[in-house]
Amino acid sequence: MARLCFDYGHGGEDPGATYNNREESNDVLDLGKAVAEEVRRHGVTVDETRTTDATVSLSDRSNFENRNTYDYFISFHRNAFQPEQAKGVETYTYLNSGAKSKSLAQRIQTSLVALGFTDRGVKEANYHVLRETKAPAVLIEIGFIDNTEDNNLFDSKRNEIVKVLAKAILAQVEISYIEPTAIPQPEVKGQTLYRVIVGAYSAKENADAQLAKVKSAGFKDAYIKSE
């Protein structure tokens, strides 16, 4: 089965790009962990360079990846330029990278553009995490944090972003995406009940966080079941 390394940019003492009290490090941590859980739901192993708002140096990130063998290394970021002057998504590979990283970058770029982000293209860059990692590597800039339109897309289409990124990554490792399904339960007094599944999580804290979101949306009978 495929094994991936996810890298969430910045963190801790380094918030990354900021705008109107919004921090890149928080945006990519929240989104990236959700993508990781969705990919794990399909049996893929995902290791993460950080899982909290912690400071992780560039060398620590590449060293983390180099300690194991991964099919792909994917670094999550958000862009910035001048307030409200630039927008869109772009995906990077290393200079003259191989076919695998270019293919994954194009899948990711196409999937995000389809959600309404401006297409800034697949590009090459001499970034540390692309240069110093062993696996085919890509770095995603998911919209400009200093652009209101991109932030609105990032927030309003968060679940769709998670889904299309998971689908693109899974397709690259030749795994078909499976939609979460409602599982039929035994009949109760002549009536069939259908229980809605919103996710499966390997970490209890992620399950607790999702349960809190579901209950805050008004579904008070939601609960966690371990398997």
pLDDT digits (tens, 9 = 90+) for 45-61: 999 999 999 999 999 99
DSSP line for 200-224? --SSHHHHHHHHHHHHHTT-TT---
Alpha helices in 128-173 (DSSP H): 128-131, 148-156, 158-172
Q: Do the beta carbons of residue 7 and residue 74 sit within 8 Å?
A: yes
Q: Are 211 and 224 in contact (CB under 8 A)?
A: yes
CB atoms closer than 10 angstroms to residue 84: 13
Tell me, what DSSP letter sits at residue 132? S
What's the pLDDT band for 151 if we cut at 50, 70, 90?
A: very high
Please choose, from the candidates 42, 44, 35, 40, the residue with its C-alpha nearest in 3D space to the C-alpha of residue 111.
Answer: 35
Supply the pTM of this predicted model.
0.81
Mean pLDDT of the chain: 91
Q: What is the mean pLDDT of residues 79-99?
A: 97
Q: CA angle at residue 144 from 143 to 145, to 5 degrees?
A: 115
* Domain at 3-172, CATH homologous superfamily: Zn-dependent exopeptidases (3.40.630.40)
Q: Can you give the residue ranges of every domain in the chain?
A: 3-172, 182-216
Q: Is the pLDDT of residue 186 over 80?
A: no
% of the chain beyond a pLDDT of 90: 78
Q: Who has greater pLDDT, 213 or 173?
A: 173
